[in-house]
Amino acid sequence: MDTPKEIFLKDYKLPDYYFDTVDLNFSLGEEKTIVASKITVYPRVEGSSFPLVLDGEDLKLLSITVDGKELKEGDYCLDSRHLTLPLPPSGTFTLEIVNEIYPQKNTSLEGLYMSSMCFCTQCEAQGFRKITFYQDRPDIMAKYTCRIEADKSSYPVLLSNGNLKEKGHLEGDRHYALWEDPFKKPCYLFALVAGPLESRDDIFVTRSARKVSLRIWTPAQDVPKTAHAMYSLKEAMKWDEDVFGLEYDLDLFNIVAVPDFNMGAMENKSLNIFNSGCVLASPETATDGDYAAILGVIGHEYFHNWTGNRVTCRDWFQLSLKEGLTVFRDQEFSSDMGSRTVKRIADVSSLRNYQFPEDGGPMAHPVRPHSYIKMDNFYTGKILSSLALNVPVYEKGAEVVRMYKTLLGSQGFRKGMDLYFKRHDGQAVTCEDFFAAMRDANNADFANFLIWYSQAGTPVVKVTSSYNAEAHTYSLKFSQEVPPTPGQPVKEPMFIPVAVGLLDSSGKDMPLSSVYHDGKLQSVEISNHPVYTTVVQVTKKEEEFVFADIFEQPTPSLLRGYSAPIRLESNLSDSDLFFLLAHDSDEFNRWEAGQELARKLMLSMVADFQQGKPLALNPNFVHGLKCILSDASLDKEFIAKAITLPSESEIMDMMEVADPDAVHSVRKFIRKELASQLKAEFLNMVLANRSSEEYVFNHPNMARRALKNVALAYLASLEDPETTELAVHEYKTATNMTEQFAALAALAQHPGKSRDDVLADFYSKWQHDYLVVNKWFALQASSDIPSNVENVRNLMKHPAFDLRNPNKVYCVIGAFCYSPVNFHAKDGSGYKFLGEMVVQLDKLNPQVASGLVSSFSRWRRYDENRQNLAKAQLEMIMSTNGLSENVFEIASKSLA
Ligand code: PHE
Ligand code: ZN
């Protein structure tokens, strides 16, 4: 391998040439596919003479023609990555290129490839260059037509972006379709699908009364499982009109589900392509979690039509411009469709589990990175059962967008969005352009807000408070620190919006009238309406805010709704936290108070465990949870979240030296102790929340199931005959996958006959459904049972396993890495397994392989023995011949 080249944001240059129209012609075949392109090219500066450099990888060039004249060798240069025309004509010209590709041999799932019986494409970020020679960069926006020609019986359905213009028969049992996309787009949004598919069809009437045909394409047998996806799509279309005034802009919207896909889904213009795991669901085969994920991903891809497609990114460093914004939009959509608090809790947990650790490790990078070797690596970082996602760009990016809304309010945010579209529709722009639209639409003073895009690391904010009983003032002193990250040893203070409320001694919100800042008194009240939450803007290293007219010592509720992606360290006592847990009007902060108590408790018990002291559970904690359990005024899903302990990885992330065994033992001990002390309550919760009716996907029903399932899992941890039997009973009588799988999972944590029996039963029941089989894989692979690595190696020999299918890799190899005790096994067996897998996978699919290597990146956080074992695997990976750039980047940065 040549030493891979690093690409820098600061080196961005405008292209020398633009493309106006692109006409593509595909002749799909079993041995090879012929691609012919006809592009009108014009120079950015009239009369300039620059070489035209096209990207192209793994292509066989057949011919090039300029203005109808075929070029001879010597008229152009071709290497393994580029096709260069040293002397293109001046002015506008027509470039025609014919090349050959081999989709049947493409295992990278990038460019044109086969998934089961279908041809399909994935072009983001840089897959288009594996289809034909092109300036493969998002600031080249052109109008496309696409003609597809294929065997009629094998590939009856032929799809591309835009509107169908023409279709017809051809000689030799072939046929063709001609598609035209009226909107300019970058090539990463190009898509083509051809295969034996059937569709669920529906219609959406837009607010200006246009009828849009909606089609969801799958193999015939899966069409019944697309009802929820269609529901989600229509809800998303309506929501975007209602909340942002954004209407769909074509007469047709297609979604195609394919089983082989590296990520969750892709927002290609009017032809979204999805991982089938993010589309297909039925009550019998999918859980509430799957239903909610489908709603979110369908919404996400649909929302990209405006935030991503109509307004796109100038270059790939700006990825968060579309992803952070679109994740924010899908989070808001899901909140409006279900419970806002529960959604926020889930998103914040995800930040803590994935973003915080990454932000503190060798792969830390800002929301807008300064450089990269392989762009693909900005999409992965977190691998869930069937999804891979980059947390800094996607989720922290969404937090940055959320802060604009917190600072400007809903209406101000909407004004900013309107201005953004007004200014930039049809353009490829930057994060500053978004910032400027928000600022200008509101005449806002955003001080140093832009640093959120360029500075990596999670800010640590310390708060101390004091009450002055004579002056009736209450002071909050903030100090902030951003820890150093690779390449950024010194950090500047950031602009941190902190939403604050103050509780009186009865637990009620105090009205906030005014606050002194920098010696100036600012009114908080809005036209005599009492205000209970105000947002203070922390912009300096140290800063004080003093609340006036506070007539008793309050308990502060800080960072309400998690108003900024920071670590907050306060001087709240345990009794303050119990008080907030019981009373805070901000439901998110009620949950947070309980989590903070649990984190403190778990960390101190981990220390006891390490010192060989006996473990004992604080009775106040048990009492606090018991109160939550029996509070009938609370939402059931909220209760389910509130009684769930912080994850092992969240606790490990807070330790000087992460100790997976200690954290695991402590968490397990607390769970079992809670189960035995609250057994009656948990039993009651299971019995009172059983399903009585058919499965419905709505908040009350999901909340009921969530609570029942959490209670059942606690009970099963007792491993006594009574509770085991109850779990087996729930497994056998379940009428939907949510409850069936929860019972299975509860049993699967404990080795023994019950476990073996239900796992075998589940497989024989569901072996015909690969998505359910994937759940069965993931459950076993992520299990904490001792020495699970051997079971995982055996799972890979199972006939249903396939190393070429990313979902299966994520469900088996990826899921294994999420069991800290097994992945970080002292003997190095987990590391060795992952090392072998990375090397093997890299040859098939570098994107998937590099997603897995990330599990090694935090190796320095562990003890010396583990460090050595993990480092040895990273070095082994680095010394492998023919390593991909994807894996090279992550492995080398991890070692640096
Ligand atoms: N742009 C896709 C999304 O937002 C993610 C993706 C990236 C998919 C790269 C495939 C490849 O969901
Ligand atoms: Zn996206």
Closest to 637 (Cα-Cα) out of 704, 715, 584: 704
Judge if the upstream peptide bond of residue 125 is cis by omega within 30 degrees of 0: yes
The residue contributing the CA closest to ligand 1 atom 5 is 266
**What tens digit of pLDDT does each residue of 671-688 get?**
999 999 999 999 999 999
| Count of other CB atoms within 10 angstroms of residue 421 | 17
**Whole-number Å distance between alpha carbons of 25 and 865:** 57
Assess whether the C-beta atom of 388 lies below 6 angstroms from ligand 1. Answer: no
**Quick one: which atom of ligand 1 is closest to the CA of 297?**
12
Q: Name residues whose C-beta falls within 8 Å of residue 770's C-beta, 6 or more positions apart in sequence.
A: 259, 800
> Tokens 């059962």 belong to which residue?
385
Is the pLDDT at 527 greater than 80, yes or no?
A: no
Mean pLDDT of the chain: 96
Q: How far is CA 672 from CA 578, 598, 711, in A?
A: 22, 15, 12
For the chain, how far is it from start to end, CA to CA, in angstroms?
Answer: 19
Mean pLDDT on 5-17: 97
Residue 266: CB within 6 Å of ligand 1? yes
Point out the ligand 1 atom lying closest to the alpha carbon of residue 304.
4
- Ligand 1, atom 11, residue with closest C-alpha: 124
State residue 691's pLDDT score. Answer: 86
CA-to-CA distance for 673 and 439, rounded, in angstroms? Answer: 52
Tell me the CA distances in angstroms from 472 to 514, 515, 544, one per residue in order.
Answer: 12, 12, 16
**278 in Cβ contact with 296 (< 8 Å):** no
Of the listed ligands, the closest to the CA of 138 is: 1
d(CA 484, CA 408): 30
Which pLDDT band, with edges at 50, 70 and 90, does 305 fall under? very high
What are the residues whose beta carbon lies below 5 Å from ligand 2 (ion)? 323, 326
The model's pLDDT over 403-441, given as tens digits with 9 standing for 90+, comes to: 999 999 999 999 999 999 999 999 999 999 999 999 999
In angstroms, the CA 6 to CA 377 distance is: 13
Instruction: State yes or no: pLDDT of 390 exceeds 90.
Output: no
Type of residue found at 260? D
Q: Pick the closest to residue 824 from 684, 652, 581, 671 (CA basis).
A: 652
Q: Is the CB of 264 under 6 A from ligand 1?
A: yes
242 C-beta neighbours (distance < 10 Å), count: 11
The arithmetic mean of pLDDT across residues 766-791, rounded, is 96
DSSP assignments along 462-481, one per residue: EEEEEEETTTTEEEEEEEEE
Give 468's pLDDT tier (boundaries 50, 70, 90).
very high
| Other beta carbons less than 10 A from residue 609's beta carbon | 19
For the annotated catalytic residues, the residue numbers are 301
Ligand 1 pocket test target in 266, 309, 329, 807 with most atoms within 8 Å of CB? 266
Q: Give the Cα separation of 686 and 684 in Å (integer).
A: 5
> What contacts 114, CB < 8 A, 6 or more positions away?
103, 104, 106, 120
Q: Please tell me the predicted confidence (pLDDT) of residue 388.
A: 46
The pLDDT of 76-84, averaged and rounded, is: 98
Asked if pLDDT for residue 92 goes beyond 50, the answer is yes
Which residue is closest in CA terms to ligand 1's atom 1? 266
Give the position, in ligand 1's atom list, of the atom nearest the Cα of 394: 4
Q: Is the pLDDT assigned to residue 819 strictly greater than 70?
A: yes
- Cβ of residue 122 lying under 6 Å from some atom of ligand 1: yes
**pLDDT of 439-448, one tens digit each?**
999 999 998 9
577 pLDDT above the threshold of 60: yes
Residue of 121, 263, 279, 329 with the most ligand 1 atoms within 8 Å of its CB, for mutation: 263
Give residue 267 CA to ligand 1 midpoint distance, Å: 7
Q: What percent of the chain has pLDDT over 90?
A: 94
Tell me what percent of the residues of the chain surpass a pLDDT of 70: 98
Instruction: Look at the pTM and tell me if it is higher than 0.95.
Output: yes
Residue 383: predicted pLDDT: 59
The number of the ligand nearest the C-alpha atom of 378 reads 1
Which strands form 460-468's sheet, in the order they lie side by side?
520-523, 514-517, 542-548, 473-481, 460-468, 567-570
Q: What is the pLDDT of residue 610?
A: 98
Whether 263 is in the pocket of ligand 1, judged by its Cβ within 6 Å, is yes
pLDDT band at 2 (very low <50, low <70, confident <90, very high): low
Which one of the ligands is nearest to 120 CA? 1
Looking at residue 385, what is its pLDDT?
A: 47
Q: How confident is residue 382, by pLDDT bands cut at 50, 70 and 90?
A: low
What's the CA-to-centroid distance between 302 and ligand 2, angstroms?
9
pLDDT in tens, 630-651: 999 999 999 999 999 999 999 9
* Residue 454 pLDDT > 50: yes
Range with lowest mean pLDDT among 356-360, 498-502, 628-632, 786-790: 356-360
> What token pair was written down for 482?
């951003």
